[in-house]
Chains A and B, each alone.
Chain A
Amino acid sequence: MFNGIKSLVGLLALAIFGITLFQAIIGFKEALYPGISYLYNWIGPHIAPNAVTNVVFDWRGYDTLGEALILVTAVVITLLIFGRGKVQLGGK
């Protein structure tokens, strides 16, 4: 008997979740608004001729900081694994 109630509750939860997801997808195009990107596409060529550098270093400069942090982490981990004899880390 409890198996039947469990499957009923599971079916109800799945129905609610599915209806919520599909309700967000219907009418998605009218909900999109580019926002300030129209303004930056107009101002961009006045800053520098290279649109890629404009976006990477000026409009999304914070993401480039994260990219640099990834490079530092990769180099540190590689030197930890392959650096036996070249780096004295202390200990025994």
Chain B
Amino acid sequence: MSTILKLFIFPAAIIIFCLGVNTILGGHITPGGGFQGGAIIAGAFIFGAVIYGLKDSPIKFSHDFMAQMESAGALAYVFLGLAGLIFSGFFLYNLGVDLYGIIPPFIKTLFDYPDPINAGIIPYLNFVVGIKVMVGLSAVVIAFLGFKGEFSEDEEEIEEID
């Protein structure tokens, strides 16, 4: 890849990271949310991996990191649901916005997102899903980029013809 690309891609990847975080955090007001913001962050990582190559890229997602983040994301979603089950009788009950009026007020202020908009636990769910999606999509692309299978044999045959 040319020099201009190598000079430009790392700052651009940082700014696209910040744009993805902004999309995740505004999931309950603007279009966006967890899935979309996670795809944007994965796009920035794939940008760096394609231009620099997997070994020289400044942004490295190791296998342990990806396994831990994916498990943490899915487990945190389930734990938020279990918290709703414990404090009220319903799984994934929105503890910040108490529609039925059945939980004491200190739990309601504990789980509310500090915001002019009373959205409850919806931003926390967006955050958790965003982490899960960004790591999952990057894992698939890393598996495809590092795959050395049948393609190397075809390249040898083409060189022999020349």
Contact = CB atoms under 8 A, between A and B. Distances in A.
B126 interface: yes
B31 A64 contact: no
B63 A50 contact: no
Contacts of A21: none
Contact of A68 (B27, B29, B74): B74
Q: Chain B CB within 10 Å — which of A57, A61, A86 has the most?
A: A57
Given A47-B118, A48-B29, A50-B28, A72 B143 contact: no
B74 A69 contact: yes
Contacts of A87: 63
**Chain A: interface secondary structure?**
helix
Interface in A9-65: 43, 46-50, 52-54, 56-58, 61-62, 64-65
Contacts, number: 88
Contacts of A71: 132-133, 136
Place the interface of chain A in its size category.
20 to 34
A58 B84 CA distance: 12
Interface string B48-80: 000000000000000100000010011001100
B117 A49 contact: yes
Contacts of B29: 48-50
Contacts of A65: 77-78, 81, 92
Given A53-B122, A61-B125, A79 B139 contact: yes
Interface of B: 27-31, 33, 63, 70, 73-74, 77-78, 81, 91-92, 94, 97, 99, 117-120, 122, 125-126, 129, 132-133, 136, 139-140, 142-144, 146-148
Interface of A: 43, 46-50, 52-54, 56-58, 61-62, 64-65, 68-69, 71-72, 74-75, 78-79, 82-87
